Amino acid sequence: MPLISQEQVVHFENMIYLPMVLTILERDRALFETGAFKLNRPYIELVDGAIKQVQKELKETKIHMRKHHMKMLRGTGDDTFTEYVFYHGGYEDHRRYLNLRLRNRVEELLRVYLAMSDKEL
């Protein structure tokens, strides 16, 4: 049996991915505001909706982690891998994520949140 359950790993990974997604959405929003778009409001509204959803899920994740005494720290990284350290239930779990995997997962999540935002508009 793993020291940290897969259910808890999902929350730890949310703490990796959601801040990255939020950063990208906020940067993109700024580009839509300053870009040479004829009609930029639809893009900004779409991105704003996605930002709100990511912020909501990130807040829920932080609350869950605090309630369950979970902590995550970013460890060492290089051009290929980034290490994260998960702490929970007296255990410490070091995990290395392929940077390409991180990028692909963030891109996947961007699609999910933008699609969710599009449905709400």
Contact 46, 117 (CB under 8 A): yes
* Residue 67: pLDDT over 90: yes
| pLDDT at 1 (0 to 100) | 52
- What is the chain's mean pLDDT, rounded? 95
User: What CA–CA distance (Å, rounded) separates 53 from 114?
Assistant: 9
> Which residues make Cβ contacts (< 8 Å) with residue 65, sequence separation at least 6?
11, 12, 15, 71, 72
**Whole-structure pTM value:** 0.92
For residues 104, 54, 41, 119, the Cα torsion angle rounded to the nearest 10 degrees is 90
Share of the chain above pLDDT 90, in %: 88
